[in-house]
């Protein structure tokens, strides 16, 4: 989807840019590198892109923590680096990732004076960074070949493979996220492969799919996922009421509507849970957490206190492979106790600080491992999510998949650990980065075209 979108409506007769035929002349290799191989389903490039998306999503480890996705993407580096130039701000994201890799060793060496470096943790931190940066680069090229719909379906299938190979079949922690990506990706409007006709999907259908998937999460104790999918449905339905004149409404009004919808969904979901709509056990746990913390967002989040205290204690971060020492642990425990949380338990000593530093948020993990460049990378993603969600919703061009990945990533930025967040972070950056307007692209692109 390009920046020159002006209004929704029937798609133009020419094909969407991600699926437009390649320019005549030139070698096939140059066409693949430029990303102008299409219709995507007519060439080998589309098959490669499809398999690459599955590989990146699967997170299958081939050795030394290196995933199959990284292994497949590295030989294609010249291809996806060239393709990245066709997206606004893509080079900024890739540059920030490279900066994290460069400054990481500096932080690690600086911490060696009073910390014991763990080589395995150090390697894991760099692999996670490579998985994120290389995965985004590779899928930016794949998006040019497949468009949003088929990229999401292929990536979701890879995520399903990941859940199954981990033997995690629960909806909350395993297959639920993959199902959401596959279903909402399938319901994203776009060109039918090989036909050149537009496939429309009513927003009401997309909203109902969000509710259906959300109920699946709620039945498996996935309260936050349930609320996020209800919020996604609300934002999607809001766009149904927006006529052409509504596109002139300010971004501030749209942002206000999204915030109001979020508050309403939070209140409604909490009421449903406390009333026992999803079982008495969930209702009891929720009531206990609210009694301790005052609200569901802060409940069970002692990591926020630890993060705040550690940032004040060591502003530049720790570095890859640097575990907390006794002084760091004491500072973190004090920060958690300030929230009324008792840090004397296995969760703190074994999960958060038993092996490295796990602060259970992308902000905390990026800062601890990569320092200020990690914070800059985090801030880039936050601004991308906010600006993309507001801009596309204002123009009534935000399909359910885009809304959902934006909301989920906004949550992960504050409340989820890096390992569990990387798959959706990759997909979010790939789908939300806007494309430059090409000289051979004379028409606006309707929602869902990629």
Does residue 131 lie within any of the structural domains?
yes
Of residues 366, 415, 425, 431, the one with CA closest to residue 223: 415
What was the pLDDT predicted at 263? 61
Distance CA 45, CA 28 (A): 10
Does residue 1 lie within any of the structural domains?
no
Q: Are strands 66-67 and 61-63 parallel, antiparallel or unpaired?
A: antiparallel
Does residue 4 lie within any of the structural domains?
no
What was the pLDDT predicted at 291? 53
Q: Tell me the backbone φ, ψ of residue 66, rounded to 5 degrees.
A: -75, 130
Number of structural domains in the chain? 1
What was the pLDDT predicted at 306? 93
pLDDT tens profile 241-294? 765 444 545 556 666 666 666 565 555 555 555 555 445 554 555 555 555 445
Radius of gyration of the chain (CA): 22
Query: 80-114: buried (b, 16+ CB within 10 Å) or exposed (e) per residue?
Result: bbebbebbebbeebbbbbebbbebbeebbebbeee
Helix (H) or strand (E) holding 366: helix 362-394
What was the pLDDT predicted at 60? 94
Q: Is the dihedral of CA 175, 379, 411, 397 positive or negative?
A: negative
pLDDT band at 221 (very low <50, low <70, confident <90, very high): confident
pLDDT of 408 higher than 70: yes
Does residue 447 lie within any of the structural domains?
no
Distance CA 79, CA 72 (A): 12
pLDDT tens profile 301-350? 778 889 999 999 999 999 999 999 999 999 999 999 988 888 998 989 99
pTM: 0.81
Does residue 28 lie within any of the structural domains?
yes
pLDDT of 7 higher than 80: no
Are 436 and 426 in contact by the 8 Å Cβ rule? The answer is: no
pLDDT tens profile 340-391? 888 998 989 999 998 889 998 999 999 999 999 999 999 999 999 999 988 8
pLDDT tens profile 52-88? 999 999 999 998 889 999 999 999 999 999 999 999 9
Does residue 58 lie within any of the structural domains?
yes
What was the pLDDT predicted at 186? 94
Query: Burial of 395 by CB count in 10 Å (0-12 exposed, 13-18 middle, 19+ buried)?
Result: buried
What was the pLDDT predicted at 26? 37
In order of 52, 79, 94, 101, 412, the CA distances from 75 in angstroms are 12, 9, 17, 19, 30
What was the pLDDT predicted at 385? 94
Residue range(s) defining the domain that contains residue 414 = 17-432
Does residue 439 lie within any of the structural domains?
no
Of residues 358, 359, 352, 367, the one with CA closest to residue 317: 367
Distance CA 421, CA 412 (A): 6
Does residue 6 lie within any of the structural domains?
no
Helix (H) or strand (E) holding 10: none
More confident residue, 259 or 204: 204
Distance CA 334, CA 48 (A): 51
Distance CA 38, CA 45 (A): 9
* Strand partners of residue 2: 435
Question: Mean pLDDT, the chain, as a whole number?
Answer: 80
pLDDT tens profile 35-58? 444 444 457 889 999 999 999 999
Find all residues with CB under 8 Å of 17, minimum gap 6, and list them.
Answer: 2, 435, 438, 441, 445, 449, 450
| Residues 184-202, mean pLDDT to the nearest whole number | 77
């Amino acid at each position: 989807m390009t920046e020159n979108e002006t209004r929704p409506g029937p798609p133009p007769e020419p094909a969407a840019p991600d699926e437009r035929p390649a320019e005549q002349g030139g070698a096939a290799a140059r066409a693949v590198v430029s990303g102008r191989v299409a219709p995507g389903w007519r060439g080998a490039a589309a098959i490669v892109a499809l398999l690459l998306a599955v590989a990146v999503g699967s997170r299958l480890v081939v050795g030394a923590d290196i995933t199959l996705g990284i292994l497949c993407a590295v030989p294609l580096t010249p291809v996806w680096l060239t393709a990245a130039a066709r997206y606004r701000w893509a080079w900024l994201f890739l540059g920030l990732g490279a900066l994290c890799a460069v400054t990481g060793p500096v932080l690690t060496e600086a911490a060696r004076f009073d910390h014991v470096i763990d080589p395995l943790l150090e390697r894991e931190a760099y692999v996670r960074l490579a998985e994120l940066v290389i995965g985004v680069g590779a899928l930016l090229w794949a998006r040019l070949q497949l468009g949003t719909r088929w990229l999401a379906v292929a990536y979701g299938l890879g995520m399903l493979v990941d859940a199954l190979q981990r033997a995690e079949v629960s909806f909350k922690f395993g297959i639920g996220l993959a199902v959401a990506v596959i279903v909402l990706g399938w319901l994203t409007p776009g060109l039918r492969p090989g036909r050149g006709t537009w496939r429309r999907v009513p927003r009401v259908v997309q909203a109902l799919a969000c509710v259906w998937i959300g109920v699946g999460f709620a039945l498996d104790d996935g309260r936050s996922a349930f609320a996020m999918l209800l919020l996604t449905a609300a934002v999607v339905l809001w766009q149904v009421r927006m006529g052409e004149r509504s596109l002139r409404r300010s971004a501030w009004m749209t942002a206000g509507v999204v915030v109001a919808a979020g508050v309403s969904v939070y209140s409604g979901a909490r009421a449903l849970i406390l009333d026992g709509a999803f079982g008495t056990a969930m209702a009891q746990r929720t009531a206990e957490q609210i009694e301790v913390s005052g609200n569901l967002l802060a409940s069970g989040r002692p990591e926020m206190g630890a993060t705040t205290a550690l940032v004040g204690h060591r502003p530049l971060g720790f570095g890859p492979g640097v575990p907390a020492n006794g002084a760091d642990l004491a500072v973190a425990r004090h920060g958690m106790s300030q929230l009324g949380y008792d840090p004397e338990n296995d969760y703190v000593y074994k999960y958060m600080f038993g092996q490295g530093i796990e602060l259970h948020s992308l902000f905390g993990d990026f800062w601890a491992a990569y320092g200020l460049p990690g914070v800059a990378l985090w801030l880039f993603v936050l601004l991308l999510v906010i600006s993309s969600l507001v801009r596309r919703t204002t123009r009534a061009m935000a399909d359910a998949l885009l809304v959902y990945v934006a909301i989920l990533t906004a949550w992960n930025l504050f409340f989820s650990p890096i390992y569990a967040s990387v798959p959706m972070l990759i997909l979010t950056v790939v789908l939300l980065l806007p494309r430059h307007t090409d000289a051979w692209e004379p028409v606006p692109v309707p929602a869902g075209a990629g």
